Amino acid sequence: MATLAHVEPLEPVPAAFPPEVVAQREAIPAIYGSVDFTQLPERFSTDLADQVEMPARFASRRADLLADSKCLATIRAYTMTGDRTADAYAALMPEYGFRALVDMLDRACDEGLETVEDAPPELRAFIAAMEATPEWLDMELVEQGARTERNAHVHLTPFVLRGAFIATFMNKYSALPMALTGTLSNNTASRRAYETGSFFTCTLMPGALRRSGAGFKAAAKVRLMHSMVRANIMRSGKWDVGVYGIPIPQVDQMPAGLIGTYLMAREVLDSGRETFTPEERAKVELARYRCFLLGLPEDLLSDTPRGIEKLWLTRSATLRAEFEPETCGALLRATMDAEMTQGEGALAGAKRWMEGGFSKLFFIQHFMGGDRELAASVGVTMSATDRLAAVCALAFVHGHIRWYKALAAIPATRDWADRRLVRKLGQLLETYGHADFVTDASQYKPAL
């Protein structure tokens, strides 16, 4: 086991962040001009005495993770890094207004940049960055990954969306931007969860992540939304960078984009394997390219089980743990009380009941380490009825998944089954409704 001596040589507060991080201040002064890049924010900790977001089963590995200076430096840098390309475009809000920026981006995605009259150079740079092709990209593998993902996504997502969404705001340092945007009521909580579900569902449609695809446009709009939140919060003058770092930094976007990939990597490693199967590798390629379109740096997009695990756990090992009832608790209660299953009648009622229990089970197992007492301490409890609902949901979900896997294994029914899954994706998108992926500063909370 590693000892504290392994960590002592690391400088706890560097003299400065890397030049590319500090350069944000000069490149986009409207957002980063007042940021002190010589100090680490309170949220980032390498002190072994501090409580951090490490899952209990991996707590003994924290010292070893912190001793990896290269990976630690990567997580530290991206704790203070936004999205320079989208941020530069979002910084034009005082000049153009947020709606005009969204409209120009819509047109550039739908009809081409050349159709946007007097397109600002920041929009041109934004579209160019998204159109760039990474050296590692294999679009056929991305399409294969989407085809493979469709089965589980269609049948499982409606039951885990609430639980996965809750996990994004269990830490006050990463949850505050969402709280400030006004996502605290039952209606807004369900709408934000639906927008999240809509984005990932959209990206699984055939051809969605190609330049003309709906997923490409959705990624651009999500990316701009994050930058608008960042710009509005930083312009407010009420954000404490010394405590929270940069709003929605790259290290906080990584878990949202790669949660499925991380869980798959964990299954691979727990099974004793060190490499992905071809089918798993296709799903990794899909996730990596989706995250690339969202603006995540390639440093955070590993393609091996160990690499994915190391980045994920190092982030957890450096993120100070704190559940704040006023912020995290309000978001938690709003999401738990939100109506996530639409429709009337017996079938809708049964699905509503199963979703309630299964979402709790998913949250407790994957984000609370299976510790029900810990989950209860933050307001998520499972009754005997919830457990029965979760069991029924498991049978319902896995029964459908196994059936479509069987159909996919038969050449005569493979394409029919995939067409059926695509139709189900479309129905799921109808359930989620139209997602605007916009943020209105007038709805933000007035103070921290």
Sign of CA dihedral 207, 209, 213, 218: positive
The chain-wide mean pLDDT, for the chain, equals: 88
Dist CA 292 CA 138 (whole Å): 13
Tokens of 115: 């159709």
Q: What pLDDT score was predicted for residue 231?
A: 93
What is the predicted pLDDT for the residue at 405?
A: 96
Judged on CB neighbours under 10 Å (0-12, 13-18, 19+), 395 is exposed
Q: Say what percent of the chain tops pLDDT 90.
A: 66
Query: Whose CA is closest to 262, among 303, 294, 292, 205?
Result: 303
Helix axes 330-337, 172-180, angle to 10 degrees: 70
As a 3-state breakdown, the chain gives helix, strand, coil percent values, each rounded to 5, of: 70, 0, 30
CA atoms within 13 A on the CB side of 269: 13
Instruction: Grade residue 9 by pLDDT with cuts at 50, 70 and 90.
Output: very low
Cβ(310)–Cβ(274) below 8 Å: no
Residue 275 has pLDDT above 50, yes or no: yes
**Euclidean distance between CA atoms 190 and 356, whole angstroms:** 13
129: Cα separation from own chain's centroid: 20
Residue 48, C-beta contacts closer than 8 angstroms, at least 6 positions apart: 4, 7, 62, 63, 66
Is residue 116 within 8 Å of residue 103, measured between CB atoms? no
CA 295-145-134 angle, to 5 degrees, is: 35
Entry pTM: 0.87
- The CA angle 205-206-212, to the nearest 5 degrees, is 95
Lowest mean pLDDT among 94-108, 230-244, 275-289: 230-244
| pLDDT confidence of residue 16 | 58
Which residue shows structure tokens 């390219």?
Answer: 289
Residue 308's SS3 state is helix
By C-alpha distance, which of 269, 260, 278, 284 is closest to 136? 284
pLDDT tops 50 at residue 3 = no
Q: What is the pLDDT of residues 111-164, one digit of tens each?
A: 999 999 999 999 999 999 999 999 999 999 999 999 999 999 999 998 888 877
Crossing angle of the two packed helices 250-270 and 69-79, in degrees rounded to 10: 140
pLDDT in tens, 181-193: 665 555 666 778 8
Residue 211 has pLDDT above 90, yes or no: yes
pLDDT for residue 187: 62
Give the 3-state secondary structure of residue 379: coil
Residue 39 has a CB neighbour count (10 Å cut-off) of 16
The pLDDT value recorded for residue 5 is: 35
User: CA–CA separation, 228 vs 233, rounded Å?
Assistant: 8
pLDDT tens digits, 396-435: 999 999 999 999 999 999 999 999 999 999 999 998 876 6
Q: Which residue has the higher pLDDT, 209 or 237?
A: 209
Number of other CB atoms surrounding residue 414 within 10 Å: 13
Is 44 in a helix, a strand, or coil?
Answer: strand
286-298 mean pLDDT: 96
Bridge partners of 320?
52
DSSP string, 67-136: H-HHHHHHHHHHHT---HHHHHHHTTHHHH-HHHHHHHHHHHHHH-GGGSTT--HHHHHHHHHHH---TT
Report the alpha-carbon distance of residue 356 to residue 159 in Å, rounded: 8
Report pLDDT for 11: 45
